[in-house]
Amino acid sequence: VNAAAFANNNRTQVNVIAVNHDKTTSHVFKASGLSGYTLSAAQLLTGASPDADTYTTTKVSPDASGNFTIPGLSVLILQYTKG
């Protein structure tokens, strides 16, 4: 899983994007370093194949420990807001 985070200019919003490029294996992901921010939205984008022209979008929630499961060939987008 590769991940990156992007904040707006005044740092009131942060988006975390995690990509699972593995074709068959799901991976667990937990964002860290975001104290003071609250998760406001989470969605999973999943394609049928690496070269798929379309994908499905699903709203997701973390488990009790704050972990997200990212299926193979999927992108997890987490949106955080300050406060």
| Mean pLDDT for back-to-back runs of 10 residues, the chain (83 residues) | 96 97 93 95 89 91 96 96 91
Strands 27-29 and 68-70: antiparallel
For position 48, what pLDDT does the model report? 77
For position 67, what pLDDT does the model report? 97
For position 50, what pLDDT does the model report? 77
Q: Are 30 and 42 in contact (CB under 8 A)?
A: no
DSSP category for residue 61 = -
Q: Residue 78 carries which side chain, given as an amino acid letter?
A: L
Backbone dihedral angles phi then psi of residue 56, each to the nearest 5 degrees: -105, 150
